[in-house]
C-alpha cells in the first residue's frame, strides 16, 4: 500500500505546492486537511476542491469553530493569556486544535506521516511538531518549506510549471494568519521596525482615529465565560464574533509588538484582536471584583507561566494541564456583569456587578454607613511593620542605617 501523508492545508501557495512537492520527494500520496477556526476568507469547500486539483488524493475539511471557541479561546480568556502582556496568543492556541484534527485524519486515512507548511524560523513549527508528538508519538512529521527547501520563488515556479489553480503573485508582501480570536500579520516592510503600519495591514479593525459614536456594551460572565451580551444569550463563539464586530468598529485590539520568538529571534508582529482584547479586559476587571487577593496575586504568576507554555507550543504538556486545573478553580465565582464603553481604540470598563462580589460598600465607603473599624488599623500596622522595624534597628546598631541627609 502506498504511504500517505496528511498535510495541514491552508489553501495558500506554499501548502498547495507542497502537495505535489511531497509526492515527488517521498513518493507518498497526500491527504489535505483544512480546519475552520473562524478565519473567514474563502469557502472551505473551495479550498477542498483546490487541494484535489493540486493533486491530493483526499481532502478533508473540519468545521472546528465552536470547538476552538469553547476549548481553546475560553481557557485563554480565563487565564488572561497575553504574551509579553500584549499578544493574546492568536496563532498559538489554534495550532494544537489543528494538530488534533491532523492526527485524527492520519488515523482515518491510514497515514503514517503528517506535514505542515511552517518555516524553520518561526514558532509554529515547534507548536505543530510538539503537539503531534504529544498526541500521536508514532506519527512522523515533515515540513516541506523547512525540510525540502521550498522557497517562495521555487513555489511560484512550481505552481506556474504545473498550472496549479493558485495565485502566484508576489504583490502581497505580508504573511497572514487569522482565526476568530484574532489576526497576525508579519514580513514585508514591517520587518523594518521603524516603519509604521499602513492602512492595508488591518482588516479586523477600523481606524480608531475617526471612530463612530461610542458603543456601550454589557457582558455577562458565568465562571469566567461570557454567556450574554446586552442581555442576549450567546455561545462563546458568538460572544467573540459579536465583540469582534463591535470592538473592531472602534479600532480596539490593534497591537504592534517586537516579540521574543521561541527560536531566539526577535520578530516584529502586528496583531488585530478586537474581541479577544475587549473580553480579556472585561474578564480581568470581573476577577478584580470576585477573586480573593492572595489567590489573584498567585494567579497572575500562573497566567504568565501558562501563557509562556502555550506560546512555546506546550499546550498538551503536563505542567500546562496542571495550571489549567488551578485557573479553572479560580473561576468558581467569576460571574456577573461588566459594562464597557468602546471608543477610539479603547475598551473602558465603566461598571461592575456580581452576586459573588467581594466588594463591600460598607467597608469601602468614607461616608455614612462605614462599617470599617479604624481602631484596628494601628495595631495591624505595628504587627505588619515589626520585621522591618527590627531589621532597621539592627542596621543602625552596625552603622548601616539609611542616610537621612
**Helix ranges restricted to H, 27-174:** 44-53, 65-68, 74-78, 94-108, 124-135, 144-147, 152-161
Closest of 25, 26, 40 to residue 10, by C-alpha: 40
CATH code of 166's domain: 3.40.50.620
Whether 299 is in a domain gets the answer: no
Same domain, 56 and 166: yes
Same domain, 24 and 133: yes
Look at the chain and report how many structural domains it folds into. 3
CA 210 to centroid of chain Cα atoms: 27
Same domain, 31 and 138: yes
Catalytic residue status for 215: no
Q: What is the pLDDT of residue 369?
A: 80
The per-residue pLDDT for range 141-154, each reduced to its tens digit, is 999 888 877 777 88
319 Cβ neighbours under 8 A, 6+ residues apart: 305, 309
Q: Model-level pTM greater than 0.85?
A: yes
**What angle, rounded to 10 degrees, do the helices at 376-384 and 386-397 form?**
50
Could you say which of 114, 148, 171 is where a domain stops?
Answer: 171
Same domain, 275 and 143: no
CATH code of 386's domain: 1.20.5.470
Binding-site positions for L-citrulline read: 87, 123, 127, 175, 259, 271
Q: Which residue has the cell 494538530?
A: 99
Same domain, 108 and 235: no
**Distance in angstroms (rounded) separating the CA atoms of residues 361 and 393:** 40
Binding-site positions for ATP read: 8-16, 117
Strand partners, 222: 225
Give the β-pairing of 58-63 and 29-36.
parallel
Strand partners, 266: 260
Catalytic residue status for 346: no
Of 48, 94, 124, 177, the active-site residue reads 124
CB 7 within 8 A of CB 21: no
Catalytic residue status for 14: yes
Same domain, 263 and 187: yes
Q: Which domain holds residue 106?
A: 4-171
Catalytic residue status for 124: yes
Same domain, 203 and 340: yes
Please state, as a whole number, how many other Cβ atoms lie within 10 Å of the Cβ of residue 363.
11
Same domain, 208 and 92: no
| 302, containing H or E segment | helix 293-311
Per-residue pLDDT tens listing for the chain (405 residues): 689 999 999 888 889 999 998 988 889 999 999 999 999 877 888 889 999 999 999 998 999 999 999 999 999 999 999 999 999 999 999 999 999 999 999 999 999 999 999 988 889 999 999 999 999 999 999 998 888 777 778 888 888 888 888 765 555 668 889 999 999 998 889 999 999 999 999 999 999 998 999 999 999 999 999 999 999 999 999 999 999 999 999 999 999 999 999 989 999 999 999 999 999 999 999 999 999 999 999 999 999 999 999 999 999 999 999 999 999 999 999 999 999 999 999 999 999 999 999 999 888 888 888 888 888 999 999 999 999 999 999 999 999 998 887
CB 303 within 8 A of CB 330: no
Q: b/e for 99-123, b at 16 or more Cβ within 10 A?
A: bbbbbbbbeebebebbbbbbeeebb
| 23, containing H or E segment | helix 13-26
CB 215 within 8 A of CB 201: no
Q: What is the pLDDT of residue 169?
A: 56
Same domain, 160 and 229: no
What cell numbers appear for 4 in the block?
A: 500517505
The per-residue pLDDT for range 217-276, each reduced to its tens digit, is 999 999 999 999 999 999 999 999 999 999 999 999 999 999 999 989 999 999 999 999
**Distance in angstroms (rounded) separating the CA atoms of residues 117 and 112:** 17
Of 4, 48, 65, 95, the active-site residue reads 95
SS3 state of residue 229: strand
What cell numbers appear for 241 in the block?
A: 464574533
Same domain, 166 and 210: no
Task: Give the chain's largest Cα–Cα span.
Answer: 86
CA 74 to centroid of chain Cα atoms: 10
Whether 318 is in a domain gets the answer: no
SS3 state of residue 340: strand
Could you say which of 171, 191, 220 is where a domain stops?
Answer: 171
Of 134, 175, 354, 357, the active-site residue reads 175
Dihedral angle sign, alpha carbons of residues 36, 200, 260, 282: negative
Binding-site positions read: 8-16, 87, 117, 119, 123-124, 127, 175, 259, 271
Burial class, 353, CB count within 10 angstroms (exposed 0-12 / middle 13-18 / buried 19+): middle
CB 89 within 8 A of CB 310: yes
CB 96 within 8 A of CB 72: yes
The per-residue pLDDT for range 335-377, each reduced to its tens digit, is 999 999 999 999 999 999 999 999 998 888 888 888 888 889 9
Same domain, 223 and 163: no
Amino acid at each position: 500500500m502506498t504511504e500517505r501523508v496528511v498535510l495541514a492545508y491552508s489553501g495558500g501557495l506554499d501548502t498547495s505546492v507542497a502537495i505535489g512537492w511531497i509526492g515527488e520527494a517521498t513518493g507518498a500520496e497526500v491527504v489535505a486537511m483544512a480546519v475552520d477556526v473562524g478565519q473567514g476568507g474563502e469557502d472551505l469547500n473551495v479550498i477542498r476542491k483546490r487541494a484535489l486539483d493540486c493533486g491530493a488524493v483526499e481532502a478533508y475539511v473540519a468545521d472546528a469553530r465552536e470547538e476552538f471557541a469553547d476549548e481553546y479561546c475560553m481557557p485563554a480568556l480565563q487565564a488572561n493569556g497575553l504574551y509579553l502582556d500584549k499578544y493574546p496568543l492568536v496563532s498559538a492556541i489554534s495550532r494544537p486544535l489543528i494538530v488534533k484534527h491532523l492526527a485524527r485524519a492520519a488515523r482515518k486515512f491510514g497515514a503514517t506521516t503528517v506535514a505542515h507548511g511552517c518555516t524553520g524560523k518561526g514558532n509554529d513549527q515547534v507548536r505543530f511538531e510538539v503537539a503531534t508528538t504529544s498526541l500521536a508519538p508514532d506519527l512522523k512529521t515533515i515540513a516541506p518549506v523547512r525540510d525540502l527547501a521550498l522557497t517562495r520563488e521555487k513555489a511560484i515556479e512550481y505552481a506556474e510549471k504545473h498550472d496549479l489553480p493558485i495565485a502566484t503573485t508576489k504583490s502581497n508582501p505580508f504573511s497572514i494568519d487569522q482565526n476568530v480570536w484574532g489576526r497576525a500579520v508579519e514580513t514585508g516592510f514591517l520587518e523594518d521596525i521603524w516603519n509604521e503600519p499602513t492602512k492595508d495591514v488591518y482588516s479586523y479593525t477600523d481606524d480608531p482615529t475617526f471612530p463612530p459614536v461610542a458603543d456601550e456594551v454589557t457582558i455577562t460572565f458565568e465562571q469566567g465565560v461570557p454567556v450574554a451580551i446586552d442581555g442576549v444569550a450567546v455561545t462563546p463563539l458568538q460572544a467573540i464574533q459579536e465583540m469582534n464586530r463591535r470592538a473592531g468598529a472602534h479600532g480596539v485590539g490593534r497591537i504592534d509588538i517586537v516579540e521574543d520568538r521561541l527560536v531566539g529571534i526577535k520578530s516584529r508582529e502586528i496583531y488585530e484582536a478586537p474581541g479577544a482584547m475587549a473580553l480579556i479586559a472585561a474578564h480581568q476587571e470581573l476577577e478584580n471584583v470576585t477573586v480573593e487577593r492572595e489567590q489573584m496575586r498567585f494567579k497572575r504568576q500562573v497566567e504568565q507561566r501558562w501563557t509562556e507554555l502555550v506560546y512555546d507550543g506546550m499546550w498538551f504538556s503536563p505542567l500546562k494541564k496542571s495550571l489549567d486545573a488551578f485557573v479553572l478553580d479560580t473561576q468558581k465565582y467569576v460571574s456577573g456583569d461588566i459594562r464597557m464603553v468602546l471608543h477610539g481604540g479603547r475598551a473602558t470598563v465603566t461598571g461592575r456587578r456580581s452576586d459573588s462580589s467581594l466588594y463591600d460598600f460598607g467597608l469601602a465607603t468614607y461616608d455614612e454607613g462605614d462599617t470599617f473599624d479604624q481602631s484596628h488599623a494601628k495595631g495591624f500596622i505595628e504587627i505588619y511593620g515589626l520585621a522591618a522595624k527590627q531589621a532597621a534597628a539592627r542596621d543602625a546598631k552596625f552603622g548601616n542605617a539609611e542616610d537621612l541627609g
